[in-house]
Structure 1
Amino acid sequence: MSEKQYILGMDIGTTSVKVCVYDPDTSEMVAKQNKDTAANIPSDQGIEGNKQDVPKIVSAVHYCVSRLPRDVLRHVKKIGVCGQMHGVVLWKNRAWEKVEKDGVVMRFEGVREQMSALYTWQDTRCKPEFLETLPKPDSHLKCYSGYGCATLLWMLKNKPEKLKNFTCSATVQDFVVAMLCNLEYPITSDQNAASWGYFNTEKNEWNLDILKSIDFPINLLPKIIKSGAIAGTLSTSWNGIPEGTPVGAAMGDLQCSIIATLENKQDAVLNISTSAQLAIVVDKINDLGCKTIEHLPYFNNTYLVVAASLNGGNVLATFVKMLQQWMIEFGFPIPQSKLWEKLIALGLDAPEGTNMKISPLLLGERHAPTAKASVENIDLSNIQLGHVFRSLCDSLIDNLHYMMPKEILLNANIKRIVGNGSGLSRNAVLQRAVEHYYSLPLEFTSGGDAAKGAAIAVLNAA
């Protein structure tokens, strides 16, 4: 009997790290772990900043991998990594160290003094007025607040000394790959590069001339290879995984969750977790007459047509937290799990066609960064909690439908929507809204795990 050959997949997410061991022979996960990173840290920009502590994220990676079975890990032949796109972390030499015991490397650790915080995709320090001063990218993709190049350009203007402290920059998942492979300079994929702005997907290169013209420190930019290609090899044995194991360039979490979910090109994928994305796969960039969608690099030179909303499970979670806080102030602490249970039951019982109209843009949108949430048409008939929760769920899907109307799906011959993400899978009120707005069946499959997708994506990497 031949020796098993597994792939380790990792997803460095906004709130948690997820890892799995994937068996390509059975297309199943043989082991998995996850851990909340609890990595958010205060920003000197107040609520406009959104920063995370990278050593905490690295610690969560170690926690997850170290809890996978050793007899499984020693059969790992490749490592695939994906994570939260758009964000940027800066570092200089020796930004990580290997912690040894009796000559054996136990774990990797990030060295806080040698790196910046991770400035995440949720960072809103780049106001529209600032973005308007920047040159237009040579790309079909725009550059928004929270995107790596925009954040670095903001620093160039407002904190130039900070940039001089560092020699490298990349997404946090690229940092993890650089750490595992002990790379002198980071290597990223076209998916992550496109998420930063100022990257031409057709030429597969940074807009170097444009960036040089505004004194951007281009030496900080990572080298780019295709998604699914190998960035390096494991610099030491790690929790039983052999030294020299190939590690793929880090990829986008959205693309990896979709490769794990999509069964054929007649599927659309709807992911609702922290935020919300609706996506279909196309062969080339087409003008679909809709400014709220984007074409993102996928795999094998294809593209994802995506409506990426900043408002998803985070809006519902804020609503639940608000209710919980109100109850605490009345002296009735209620666990969030109980609130969710009750809200979903009440929402399912609420009548259709309530005339309350909610705009759920609590975090604005990339195409409307200054938009806020609002409620209209409140009257005596619709102030029950179930009505309000149903209206809020409906409004999130209505917003996605505004960004990517069902006509785009129908014209692409889409036959069903495959659901993904805990924000959707646990919420029957949202599920009902999806089928109502898109007039297509919503189904859940066993896929959807971005860590699994990262493993699948490097399967055939040379």
Structure 2
Amino acid sequence: MTITLAFSLLAYHNVRRVIRLQLLVIRQRLTRQMAVMTLARVLVLIVCGLPFICSSLWELNINTHEDNYLELAIFSLISSILDSVFYANFAINFYVFLMVSSRFRRQVKNVLLRKCWALVKTRRHETPSYMYSVGLDIGTTSCKICVVTSSSSSSSSSNESNRVVFTEQITHNAHIIQNEFTSFDEQSTSKILETVNILLEKSGILNNDFPIKSIQICGQMHGFMLWSSKSSRTKVSSLVTWQDQRCSTEFFSTLGSSLAHLRTGYGLATLLWLINEQNGKEDKLMEYDRAGTIADYIATILCEDSEMKSQISTQMATSWGALNCQWPIEHRLLPTIVEPGTIIGYWKTKVPVYVALGDLQCSVFSCQPDKNQCVMNISTSAQLALTVDREVSTVSSPQNDSLSSASVSSSMRVPYFDSKDLLVAASLNGGNILSAFVQLIHSWHVSLYNVSSLSLDSLWSRLIELGLHSSSTIENFSAALFGERHDPSMAASITNIRSMNMAQLNDIGVVFRSMCRWIIKNLFEMLGRESLTMECVIGTGSALMRNDVLQRELKEKVKCQVIFEENSDAAYGAALFALMR
């Protein structure tokens, strides 16, 4: 302490000498400021240090062996206070200089307000060197969000140059149990919207300072729903999904030849069925002025513009039953068909929201396939797709006007991106039949033991394990539990069961593997001869990525290279498409 005080006084003395030796007025002001600040610092050191020194000396002379506990307690309290004051001396220099020097205050104000604050304001208003694109996939069983940014100076389609900064998937549990109308398959739009809001909140994009470039929604195709533009959150119907079976063969027979390509579950077929149901009744459709897929509805909600024009992409319109991107009928509820990449509105008045896309096209886009590379996507349903030029037509399409119900092809041609189409085998039977099988085994277990100690996750893991260890599959086996659009009469079955092959049925692993093999085999049979041109198969989709048995069956089916893209899915494809706009 003595040494500190001595050197402080010497510093003050030297500063005073410097002042007298300087001639320039500006220099004198600077050194005068330094002298005042140094003197103030010395005085603070003396004021804070002397009590500490005195208490330390008193502590050396106090007798701690006497029974003077009250005096010792008081001294201990005072000593603690003085210690705190002394150590605070080393932290208050800035505030001491502010109090004693007006020039120092002006300098601090200049630095904080003019320079630092100006820098903050500049950074707030300048365009970030990087932007984020958001992709949302509204699936049949879950919703997923993906936030992507490009690591390069310009947006690129290369997956290596793009970085996923956030991704999350949540099951929406929106299925509505139909006790009376068992052929109906509907979902609660409010539950789906609630799940989307949770994903948006988790991603952090709701923060005002989050630099979002654009938003792209995609989702389950074919589905149909209605809402009112004046009350889009309250006046809304349930979602009729692609799995809906309400449109019977008898109903389709009443439609004209121009609508012979429609199948149950198509949005246009559902609309015609609803119109037919209103005959002789109060037209409940008049309550609504908008129609679209669930992805179109979510995109409308994000735009927060009730007066926006009703629009649907060529991809979604084709899944509804549009022919050559035109509606075969006229109705006030049918939205205007536009190309992918069309801006339908803005989120928070500045972030563009593009027209909703099909989850199939976005799943393929996420893999960025080259020519003659097929993409196999297995989630709730299953698809095998190959990109072709739009001018080339090699496969019969269910969109052809002259097509009759008796000659419907098992593969179809749907719009893709950039003047390209997809040749696709779109099966109704994918991960959903495996889920149905797992649920069946689980319900049997509950029936046998009255309570199930086996969780669904454990059952899935065990079946996959047994399937991998099985050495054979069942012949004359079909897992077409949901039929197919080109042949609704298809059903799941096992034929030619004899006592000699009962051993296979006793092995549940063989049954599970046979189902997985049928899913893969069915897709290639549906695509037909076009599958012979493939040089590589890219596998994606949640059901395929989680099931090693499906992956093994795919590798055994094809003789070409197989690549599994674990991080490629519809949500990522949607975000990637938005990033490249």
TM-score per shorter chain, which class? Answer: 0.7 to 0.9
More strand by share: 1
Does 1:194 find its partner at 2:313?
no
**SS in structure 1 opposite 2:332?**
helix
AA in 1 matched with 2:445: M
Shift of 1:443: 1.6
Match of residue 123 from structure 1: 244
In structure 2, relative to structure 1, the CA distance for the partners of 1:254 and 1:16 (3 Å cut) is same
**SS in structure 2 opposite 1:246?**
strand
Shift of 1:73: 6.7
**SS in structure 2 opposite 1:399?**
helix
Match of residue 81 from structure 2: none
Shift of 1:314: 0.5
Q: Which has the larger radius of gyration?
A: 2
Moved more, 178-187 or 223-232: 178-187
In 2, Cα distance between the equivalents of 1:328 and 1:66? 38
In 2, Cα distance between the equivalents of 1:333 and 1:315? 23
Match of residue 257 from structure 2: 136
In 2, Cα distance between the equivalents of 1:86 and 1:263? 24
In structure 2, relative to structure 1, the CA distance for the partners of 1:154 and 1:429 (3 Å cut) is same
**SS in structure 2 opposite 1:124?**
coil
Q: Contact conserved, 2:223 with 2:239, CA < 8 A, in 1? A: yes
Match of residue 38 from structure 1: 173
* 1:101-250 aligned within 5 A: 110-111=233-234, 114-137=235-258, 142-160=261-279, 161-181=283-303, 182-184=305-307, 185-197=309-321, 199-201=322-324, 204-207=325-328, 211-212=329-330, 218-234=331-347, 236=348, 243-250=349-356
Shift of 1:30: 0.6
Q: Quick one: percent identity of the two aligned structures?
A: 37
Q: Deviations over 1:96-151 (max 9, x none)?
A: 3xxxxxxxxxxxxx21xx1111111111101122123222348xx93211111100
**SS in structure 2 opposite 1:458?**
helix
Shift of 1:180: 1.7
Moved more, 128-137 or 276-285: 128-137
Q: Contact conserved, 1:357 with 1:391, CA < 8 A, in 2? A: no
Q: Normalising by structure 1, what TM-score?
A: 0.86
Which among 361, 364, 374 is matched to residue 258 of structure 1? 364
Q: Contact conserved, 2:395 with 2:413, CA < 8 A, in 1? A: no
* 1:381-396 aligned within 5 A: 381-383=503-505, 384-396=507-519
In 1, Cα distance between the equivalents of 2:302 and 2:337? 18
Shift of 1:43: 4.0
Which among 523, 528, 533 is matched to residue 400 of structure 1? 523
Match of residue 144 from structure 2: 18
Match of residue 409 from structure 2: 291
Shift of 1:453: 1.0
Moved more, 7-16 or 450-459: 450-459
In structure 2, relative to structure 1, the CA distance for the partners of 1:43 and 1:343 (3 Å cut) is closer
Does 1:324 find its partner at 2:442?
yes
Does 1:443 find its partner at 2:563?
yes
**SS in structure 2 opposite 1:452?**
helix
**SS in structure 2 opposite 1:3?**
coil
AA in 1 matched with 2:503: S
Q: Contact conserved, 2:474 with 2:511, CA < 8 A, in 1? A: no
In 1, Cα distance between the equivalents of 2:208 and 2:503? 58
Does 1:57 find its partner at 2:163?
no
In 2, Cα distance between the equivalents of 1:72 and 1:33? 21
In 1, Cα distance between the equivalents of 2:385 and 2:208? 34
Greater RCO structure (CA 8 Å; 6+ sep): 1
In 2, Cα distance between the equivalents of 1:401 and 1:431? 15
Uncovered stretches (5+) of structure 2, i.e. residues with no partner: 1-122, 152-160, 397-407
**SS in structure 1 opposite 2:435?**
helix
Q: Deviations over 1:147-192 (max 9, x none)?
A: 1110010111123523222211111111111222214342211111
In 2, Cα distance between the equivalents of 1:343 and 1:74? 44
Match of residue 215 from structure 1: none
In structure 2, relative to structure 1, the CA distance for the partners of 1:336 and 1:44 (3 Å cut) is closer
Shift of 1:267: 1.6
In structure 2, relative to structure 1, the CA distance for the partners of 1:380 and 1:177 (3 Å cut) is closer
Moved more, 180-189 or 243-252: 180-189
What is the aligned length? 422
Match of residue 99 from structure 1: none
In structure 2, relative to structure 1, the CA distance for the partners of 1:166 and 1:50 (3 Å cut) is same
**SS in structure 2 opposite 1:205?**
coil
Shift of 1:460: 4.0
Does 1:273 find its partner at 2:379?
yes
In structure 2, relative to structure 1, the CA distance for the partners of 1:159 and 1:24 (3 Å cut) is farther
Shift of 1:44: 7.1
Match of residue 228 from structure 2: 92
Shift of 1:45: 5.9
In 2, Cα distance between the equivalents of 1:447 and 1:358? 32
In 1, Cα distance between the equivalents of 2:208 and 2:252? 48
Q: Contact conserved, 1:273 with 1:313, CA < 8 A, in 2? A: yes
In 1, Cα distance between the equivalents of 2:136 and 2:367? 16
Q: Contact conserved, 1:175 with 1:186, CA < 8 A, in 2? A: no
Q: Contact conserved, 1:79 with 1:247, CA < 8 A, in 2? A: yes
In 1, Cα distance between the equivalents of 2:531 and 2:258? 28
In 2, Cα distance between the equivalents of 1:50 and 1:374? 23
In 2, Cα distance between the equivalents of 1:132 and 1:45? 25
Match of residue 218 from structure 2: 82
Q: Normalising by structure 2, what TM-score?
A: 0.69
In structure 2, relative to structure 1, the CA distance for the partners of 1:355 and 1:178 (3 Å cut) is closer
In structure 2, relative to structure 1, the CA distance for the partners of 1:200 and 1:380 (3 Å cut) is closer
